[in-house]
A and B are shown apart, each in its own frame.
Chain A
Amino acid sequence: MRLVVTRRIKPLKFGGIIIPFLSIILGVFLATIALYALARVPPGLVYSSIGVSLVSPQMLQTFVMLVILGVALIIPFNAAIWNIGAEGQIIWGMIASAFIGLCIAVHYIYVSPSAAAQYSGVPGAFILPTPTATGKEVVAKLSMSPQAGVALMLILASLAGAMWALIASLMRAFLDIDEVATTLIMNYIAYYLYNYVVYGPLQGVTISTSGFGLSNPLHPALQFSRISVSTTATWEGVGIMIGVFIMAWFILRHTTFGLRLRILGSNPNALKAAGISVRKYIVAVLTISGAIAGLVGTIFFAGNMYQLMKIKTITTPPTHNIGYTAILVSWLSMLDLRGVPFAAYIVASLFQAGINLQASLGSISGGAMISSGALTYVLIGFVLTTFTILRVFSEYRIRIVRGRG
């Protein structure tokens, strides 16, 4: 008896809904078994944590970032190009935003402690929390309007992300070097570069930051505005998300560029024969993806971090590995832009579920021994493994053949 896989003439009806739904149920079930078998996590607690997180406003920030990154990755994905390098591109976005926000949009005045008082309450002036090693207070003053500062941060972050992706895209387009490996390896280079920067050009000037792997804090006028106390999401972030989504929708559906990148994914030879430079498209597709991912760097920096902080171990970058998680969002969306928000919602909920679960585990056993990150990995891992396998059935059917040769 053997299995034979054949392609369906038309994709499974409602497969785009049934399959993700089924995968979530099955995946969560498998995760629950693993959690109980290995760490005695009560199944009921897992289900209630997921239930709560589905309506939790706290996951909004994760959702916003995952939508933006999901869009960023789905563009090359449609062209059958993988961008595993969102992590690195976000890091570059952070560094670029920090450069603008900490060096270009503000300038620093060093004053004696007594003179510092005259700056408190002055619009546009921000006294850094600690003085310098020589006892001077540091006042950051805006050199431009906050709007211009924010705009510059976004523009440079986007350019930086694009430039980082450009390197991998050129290697792919001109030397045919697989972008999966290059973009991945470049993430690590970006992490170390980030550390170099926080100990070097962007290190803080005050006694608590300089040499501690910290940059100066961002001027409050340049910080994004939080939507409410219950969430870390920002209005600017939501705005960027909507803007990016609409732009991507327009490009993919209504331009020859979008059409051709989809054809690049299914039949690059036809594109070549039509007189279109496949190389240009590979470069453009990855660069655009990097540009969008770079924006997320600004959302992180100006929306949550406000300050660059060294990466202690390479497994805990300031991105929280969201660049990898986002790959799974674009995958879960079945390459359809409309699916991205749904996929992002599911993954963000599972993220939040890990946090909720850890909190309730902690309150039961006193000392929680499993981090929320690990719990999230278990949930996301099983759901997406199940989905990846079940997804086959939307376009293929499996037949059992009896007898042997």
Chain B
Amino acid sequence: MVWVTNIIMAVAPAFAAYYLTAVGHGVFEKSGVLNLAIDGVFTLGVAIAYTVALLAGTAYAGSVVALIIAAAFGAFIAYMVTKLPISHGAIGLSLMFVGYGLSALVAMPIRSTTGKVVSYPLSWVFDIGLLIFAIVLGVIMHYILVNTKLGAAIRAAGENPHAASALGVDVLKTRIIAGLLGYALIGLGASFFFLAYSPAPYSEGMGMGNGWISFAISLAAGRHPLLTIASAAVFAGLLSNKFVLQGILGLSIHITNMIPYAAALAAMVIFMVTPLKRKLAPPRSLGKIYFKEERTV
């Protein structure tokens, strides 16, 4: 039994962080918005979680505030790219830089006065709770996407916003909801990344790059919340236990580090060339500028 709790404690926090972030990414992109701001907002979420947890004295406050601020980013992006004919890629990358920059500013005052860190309890009970919490959230997201009118609206907006609008979908409202939901999860994931997975003394830029890892996790699972459980588990396992694989296969650590990314690429190819395409290919209007007043002859 000891080894089970050991594995859970080693993998669960990383899994929860990556899984929630990846599901959030998937939900948002399902609505047709290309999400390139993810890494910046993730990094900012980490800084906020650290700062607020320390100021409030409880890790939960850190998660809540990170969730709210990240969700605000999601709503802003959704509003901008739906209301105005704005390039999804450009606004995403610009906000990525904003997120990187703000993360340093947010954490600076408190970091310069203390080296303390407030985190979630480091116990296997908490970790199991976290694991269940993350998976339940993912399953709820899946249920919403597949079984509800909201889910149908999100998918419709992602496939073809013009047609969706003609069918009676308020594309703006739908995408804002998707942005709020998606980025709330991203904020939450970022907060767990710091407060549960790696609560080391904060250093500038902490968490950077992990948003992209979640991006890859989501794409490796075709943005499907349930399949993401598998891809997130693989990534989390590799990232926290990579020495195991290195030992077993005799691979260089640098090569094992690459595997998740290569796997994501392979998954994208598989989703496009096999019948899985119907379910797992990217939304058809992902990243396309939505402009209504176009003359169509």
Contact = CB atoms under 8 A, between A and B. Distances in A.
A39 B108 contact: yes
Nearest to B289: A392
B135 interface: no
Contact of A38 (B99, B108, B257, B294): B108
B11 interface: no
A3 B114 CA distance: 48
B84 A370 contact: no
B57 interface: no
Interface stretch (B14-22, B60-68, B150-158, B262-270): B262-270
Contacts of B237: none
Interface stretch (B138-146, B183-191, B209-217): B209-217
A400 interface: no
A252 interface: no
A384 B84 CA distance: 16
Contacts of B262: 189
A175 B272 contact: yes
Interface string A297-339: 0000000000000000111100000001001100100000000
A38 B264 CA distance: 37
A195 interface: yes
Contacts of B106: 38
Contacts of B83: 3, 5
B97 A384 contact: yes
Nearest to B252: A196
Interface string B3-36: 0000000000000000000000000000000101
Contacts of A39: 105, 108-109
Interface stretch (B85-93, B160-168, B174-182): B85-93
A395 B293 CA distance: 13
Contacts of A195: 254, 257
Contacts of B98: 377-378, 381-382, 385
Interface stretch (A114-122, A129-137, A180-188): A180-188
Nearest to A311: B254
B258 interface: yes
B84 A186 contact: no
A192 B204 CA distance: 22
A7 B34 CA distance: 23
Interface in A70-97: 82, 84
Contacts of A377: 97-98, 100-101, 104
Given A180-B34, A192-B258, A185 B264 contact: yes
A389 B293 contact: no
A378 B105 contact: yes
B89 A34 contact: no
Max chain A Cβ within 10 angstroms of own Cβ: one of B99, B106, B109, B254: B254
A328 B94 contact: yes
B271 to A, nearest CB: 9
A392 B85 contact: yes
Contacts of B86: 388-389, 391-392
A236 to B, nearest CB: 30
B74 interface: no
Interface secondary structure of B, over-half rule: helix
B102 interface: yes
A82 B95 CA distance: 17
Contacts of A378: 97-98, 101-102, 104-105
B46 to A, nearest CB: 12
A273 interface: no
Contact of B89 (A82, A189, A192): A82
A371 interface: yes
B293 A7 contact: yes
Contacts of B282: 178, 181
A67 B291 CA distance: 31
A327 to B, nearest CB: 6
B249 interface: no
A193 interface: yes
Interface string B246-266: 000000101101100110110
A189 B97 contact: no
B7 to A, nearest CB: 25
Given A6-B293, A177-B269, A180-B36, A371 B85 contact: no
Contacts of B264: 185
Contacts of A392: 84-86
B112 interface: yes
A331 B100 contact: no
A213 to B, nearest CB: 10
A149 to B, nearest CB: 28
Nearest to B218: A181
Interface string B103-119: 11110110110000000
Nearest to A38: B105
27 contacts: A5-B293, A6-B293, A31-B101, A38-B102, A39-B109, A84-B36, A175-B272, A176-B272, A180-B34, A181-B215, A182-B265, A185-B212, A185-B215, A192-B255, A196-B252, A313-B208, A315-B209, A316-B205, A324-B93, A328-B93, A369-B111, A371-B205, A377-B100, A381-B97, A384-B94, A387-B94, A389-B86
Given A193-B254, A199-B252, A328-B97, 7 more contacts: A182-B265, A185-B216, A371-B205, A374-B105, A377-B98, A381-B97, A388-B87
Interface of A: 3-7, 31, 34-35, 38-40, 82, 84, 171, 175-178, 180-182, 184-186, 188-189, 192-193, 195-196, 199-200, 313-316, 324, 327-328, 331, 367, 369-371, 373-382, 384-385, 387-389, 391-392, 395-396
10 nearest A-B residue pairs (beta carbon): A378-B101, A374-B104, A381-B97, A377-B101, A381-B98, A196-B254, A38-B105, A384-B94, A315-B208, A385-B94
